[in-house]
Amino acid sequence: MALKIQPLSDRVLIEPMAAEQKTASGLYIPDTAKEKPQQGKVVAVGNGKKDYDMTVKVGDTVLYGKYSGTELKLDGSEYLMMREDDILAIV
């Protein structure tokens, strides 16, 4: 399903992965974050700002801090909207 949503400015919409998932790099989320996944897939990316170009692309798997972003529910699934600067890394 394609989401018709355009994040504003330097924001990124992320679909969190379940805590037991594992990326290609074998990266696991920390034990202390069991109840809340810290890894997700980018599903929509903003256009950046006048002096800030976006780095992540739709489809990237990213790591982010435990309390980052605003939760949004869409057709029963949870998403996270956060600023790109809250994303730690692409894995």
Chain residues in the site for a copy of itself (CB under 8 A): 3-9, 11, 13, 23-32, 44, 46-47, 50-53, 55-56, 62-63, 65, 70-75, 81, 84-85, 87-91
| Contact (Cβ atoms closer than 8 angstroms) between residue 43 and residue 58 | yes
Nearer to a copy of itself, 3 or 17 (CB): 3
Nearer to a copy of itself, 35 or 75 (CB): 75
With CA atoms as reference, report the closest residue to 82 among 36, 62, 91. Answer: 62
DSSP-derived 3-state class of residue 2: coil
Nearer to a copy of itself, 16 or 87 (CB): 87
- Phi first, then psi, for residue 41 (nearest 5°) are -110, 135
As measured in angstroms, the least distance from the Cβ of 89 to a copy of itself is: 5
Q: How far apart are the C-alpha atoms of 28 and 6, rounded to whole Å?
A: 29
As measured in angstroms, the least distance from the Cβ of 1 to a copy of itself is: 8
Q: How far apart are the C-alpha atoms of 80 and 91, rounded to whole Å?
A: 18
As measured in angstroms, the least distance from the Cβ of 37 to a copy of itself is: 13
